[in-house]
Amino acid sequence: MEIIIQPDARAAASMAARFFTQTIRRQPSAVLGLATGSTPLPLYRELVQKRLDWSSITTFNLDEYLGIGADHPQSYHCFMQENLFRHVNIDQGNIHIPDGLAENPEEHCGQFERGIQTAGGIDLQLLGIGSDGHIGFNEPSSSLASRTRIKTLTERTRLDNARFFGGAGLVPRHVITMGIGTILDSRKVVLLATGDHKADAVAGAVEGPVSAMNPASALQLHPHAVFCLDSAAASKLARVDYYNWVFQNKPSWQRLDED
Ligand code: PGA
């Protein structure tokens, strides 16, 4: 794993954005995996400002609440349109987000998985991390081999997301989420985490054992996983000096393109 620690949230998001910019510029038909939540907002703002060519890019989002439609203001469909898609020249037909109102959700999950395969697999997947270590909506105890399916949210996640819905009781209980196995199949993964409320989850994911109790720890099994952190999210890591040294001493062929 590559651990990149930046002084603040904005710099961490900028660093994560550079991976996406580089992929979109070098691989105009790339398949991107995208995430929602508060953390990626500055990253999406930066990608919009760069005026990249999204015309041949395909996207798959990690998850969606079950039981709410694409026009619900808290749906991830709305989030993505509002914060990214309506600002770039993406072909709306190339956007894939699980349908929270699918008539047969289980069948829909299988179709979503097949859609990723038909598109050639995900080249670069963006992830956030929950304060309980979830990635996508794979809560603790999720199978590390799981595929896209329906999951039940923990009370902690519902509380974390209450701010969007105006109360924890209004947060849906069920979701459709890519599985951990689905995420591990991506060719490269960039996890962005900022703030001290993520520090325990990040420390468990990076330096703890691989365990279903911290789903992000499964990324230790991924050959190309990058954690972009601010110093608050990195504050409980034991080996910060080493991660910083590695980043500063990268061979030139491993470095990101300059902007
Ligand atoms: P957040 O969500 O960015 O809103 O903290 C992250 C997540 O739950 O994956």
pLDDT, position 257: 76
- pTM attached to this predicted model: 0.96
pLDDT, position 252: 77
Tell me the mean pLDDT in the region 8-31: 98
* 188 Cα: distance to centroid of ligand 1 (angstroms): 19
pLDDT digits (tens, 9 = 90+) for 35-82: 999 999 999 999 999 999 999 999 999 999 999 999 999 999 999 999
Separation of alpha carbons 37 and 12, rounded Å:
15
Domain residues of the chain, as ranges?
A: 2-249
pLDDT, position 223: 98
Separation of alpha carbons 73 and 70, rounded Å:
8
Which mutation among 131, 160, 192 tests ligand 1's pocket best, with the greatest number of atoms within 8 A of CB?
160
Is there an atom of ligand 1 within 6 Å of 37 CB? yes
Whole-Å CA distances, 184 to 44, 86, 214: 23, 29, 15
Nearest-CA residue for ligand 1 atom 1 is 37
Is there an atom of ligand 1 within 6 Å of 133 CB? no
pLDDT for 242 beyond 90 = yes
Is there an atom of ligand 1 within 6 Å of 179 CB? no
Domain 2-249 has CATH 3.50.50.60: no
pLDDT for 258 beyond 80 = no
Which mutation among 44, 65, 129 tests ligand 1's pocket best, with the greatest number of atoms within 8 A of CB?
129
| Residues marked as catalytic | 63, 132, 134, 139
Tell me the mean pLDDT in the region 160-175: 93
pLDDT for 251 beyond 90 = no
Is there an atom of ligand 1 within 6 Å of 38 CB? yes
pLDDT, position 253: 74
Q: Are 205 and 129 in contact (CB under 8 A)?
A: yes
pLDDT for 227 beyond 90 = yes
CB-neighbour burial class of residue 10 (10 A; exposed 0-12, middle 13-18, buried 19+):
middle
Tell me the mean pLDDT in the region 238-252: 93
Separation of alpha carbons 223 and 91, rounded Å:
31
Is there an atom of ligand 1 within 6 Å of 130 CB? yes
User: Beta 188-193 vs 124-127: how paired, if at all?
Assistant: parallel
Give the mean pLDDT of the chain: 96
